[in-house]
Amino acid sequence: MAGKDVETFNINKRKDFSKWYNTIVRVAELVDDRYNLKGFYVFRPWSVITMELMYDIYERELQLTGHKPCYFPLLIPESSYRKEAEHVIGFMPELIFVTEVGKRKKLGQRYALRSTSETAFYQMYELWVRSWKDLPLKLYQRANVFRWETKATKPFIRTREFYWIEAHDVFASREEAEAQVREDLGMSKRVISGVFGIPFIHFKRPEWDKFPGAEYTYACDVVMPDGKVMQQPSTHLLGQKFSKPFNITFTDKDEVKRYGWQTCYGPAISRIYASLIAVHGDNNGLRLPFNLAPVQVIIIPIISKGSEKAVLKYCNDLKGELVKNGLRVVIDDGDKMPGSKYYYWEMKGVPVRFEVGVKEVKNKTVTVYRRDLRTKKVIKRSALKGIRKLGDEITSTLIRQADKEFKDCIVTVNDYSGLKKVIGDRRIARASYCSIGMNGFKCANKIKSDLTAEVRGVRIDVEERPWTKCVACGSKAESVVYIAREY
């Protein structure tokens, strides 16, 4: 693998995030958008390797909480979607249907490409759940899902095919189901914030914005560099809204037949990846957490006349030591000048770069460059065992920087003019609000119409009380909400 000639990448991420994002996904070889179907993208190895690592981390967490993996079919009969009224109303506009095969042979009914899999899982849960001994039933699958987005599509952020994990659980009681929702919230915090280093706010969504068919929805919102928010993992208490139409019943210990209580949880890995590159990247390209980088250490040989054999041997010896310790390492021995290689791998976000020339070989040292801080230092070769620790420091730095920027994005407002200003300044407004029940829908529509912003919900990690009247209608406020533009 060798550094390539690429366009100059030096774009101010804060001032022109759209240009920064559209450029980096192309020049860093994350996607190819030339596939001949709008809204569908080819994900290239540099992004897929990281997403596979993200999948592995998430699946380990799910399995530690008792979930087991499975695979369900891609096609879902339309009749299954129609079993739960709110669900079909919510998803029908986005469904993509298969209607015929071969030479115009019409199918007996339409089959949807899965947009989400409640209706696929639950027709089987009716068969699998019989007794209280079968519960809890906690399954998940990694899958691609299809929704015919009508908004402008953007790689990873908003696509018509995206990649996620969905978990579907059944319990004997509401209390157990609600405990699962809390467990999902904790999982999001541990993985998204703790491992991937992406700060977010956990909201209870307003009644008009909950998952179709849920009693209530909790969701994570990440703030992108342009001030817009993007929803990440959401978890839903479905209650018995699906168990009744799908007849998911069990016989309890007293031989009484009861309906199950259900939850579902959906981390979209491809959308989380969008947040990862957007939140951590800088004006020079990607910056990747050490544990998620496809290449963790890039070694650049600096060859002078007569030194090639000795320098390359030294580089290969370094690589061997690092690989033996489980690190992902590449030597760029291509014919580009060292400066071009530095630029290329920095733009790709490789956390650590080794520069090795005659001086390093002679002194048994390595010149080490940190992508997070863009600093260099010389270390002894004997200190190579500390590179993983350096990687942890790099990840911690990225997390600290992301957390600081995140806190600066939220501004408290007291009135509608203040709300307009904050939204115009590409920040999140914190405001008193009449209600996140359906009584507040009219105000939400006003805000959406005037400001193209959305009421995201109330925080669930802190208890907040309104301090003024509703920011939109001036009536008595019941909640403190957060308002922002969204992807």
pLDDT at position 82 is: 85
Q: Kindly state whether residue 356 falls inside one of the protein's structural domains.
A: yes
pLDDT at position 339 is: 92
Cβ neighbors of 339 (< 8 A, separation 6 or more) are none
Q: How far is CA 86 from CA 49, 81, 92, 95, 477, in A?
A: 37, 10, 10, 14, 28
Which of 245, 272, 292, 242 shows the shortest CA–CA distance to 56? 292
* Among candidate residues 330, 365, 396, the one where a domain is terminated: 396
For the beta sheet containing 352-356, the strands, ordered from the edge strand earlier in sequence to the opposite edge, are 329-331, 297-301, 352-356, 365-370, 375-380
pLDDT at position 306 is: 86
Q: Kindly state whether residue 479 falls inside one of the protein's structural domains.
A: yes
8-state DSSP, 223: E
* Among candidate residues 339, 370, 396, the one where a domain is terminated: 396
Same domain, 465 and 415: yes
Same domain, 52 and 118: yes
d(CA 323, CA 212): 48
Q: Kindly state whether residue 165 falls inside one of the protein's structural domains.
A: yes
pTM score, two decimals?
0.94
d(CA 450, CA 29): 38
Same domain, 242 and 377: no
DSSP-assigned states of every residue in 209-221: GS-TT-SEEEEEE
Same domain, 123 and 204: yes
CA angle 60, 64, 68 (to 5 degrees): 80
Per the CB < 8 A criterion, the answer to whether 366 and 354 are in contact is yes
Which of 83, 81, 79, 84 shows the shortest CA–CA distance to 92? 81
Helices assigned H by DSSP within 82-173: 85-91, 118-128
How far is C-alpha 257 from the geometric centre of its chain's CA atoms?
A: 40
Per the CB < 8 A criterion, the answer to whether 430 and 229 are in contact is no
CA angle 168, 171, 176 (to 5 degrees): 110
Q: Kindly state whether residue 200 falls inside one of the protein's structural domains.
A: yes
Residue located via tokens 């939109």: 472
d(CA 194, CA 88): 35
Kindly report the CATH number assigned to the domain that includes residue 379: 3.40.50.800
- pLDDT tens per residue across all 487 residues of the chain: 555 655 557 899 999 999 999 999 999 999 999 999 999 999 999 999 999 999 999 999 999 999 999 999 999 999 888 887 787 787 888 999 999 998 878 888 999 999 999 999 999 999 999 999 999 999 999 999 999 988 788 999 999 999 999 999 999 999 999 999 999 999 999 999 999 999 999 999 999 999 999 999 999 999 999 999 999 999 999 999 999 999 999 999 999 999 999 999 999 999 999 999 999 999 999 999 999 999 999 999 999 888 899 999 999 999 999 999 999 999 999 999 999 999 999 999 999 999 999 999 999 999 999 999 999 999 999 999 999 999 999 999 999 999 999 988 999 999 999 999 999 999 999 999 999 999 999 999 999 999 999 999 999 999 999 999 999 999 999 999 999 999 9
Kindly report the CATH number assigned to the domain that includes residue 207: 3.30.930.10
* Among candidate residues 243, 278, 313, the one where a domain is terminated: 278
Same domain, 442 and 316: no
Q: Kindly state whether residue 11 falls inside one of the protein's structural domains.
A: no
Q: Kindly state whether residue 257 falls inside one of the protein's structural domains.
A: yes
Q: Which amino acid, 416?
A: Y
Q: Kindly state whether residue 5 falls inside one of the protein's structural domains.
A: no
Q: Kindly state whether residue 451 falls inside one of the protein's structural domains.
A: yes
Same domain, 346 and 368: yes
d(CA 140, CA 138): 7
Same domain, 260 and 318: no
Kindly report the CATH number assigned to the domain that includes residue 433: 3.30.110.30
For 219, the token pair is 């969701």
Give me the residues paired with residue 432 across strands: 480
Same domain, 177 and 203: yes
Name the residue range of residue 427's domain. Answer: 410-484
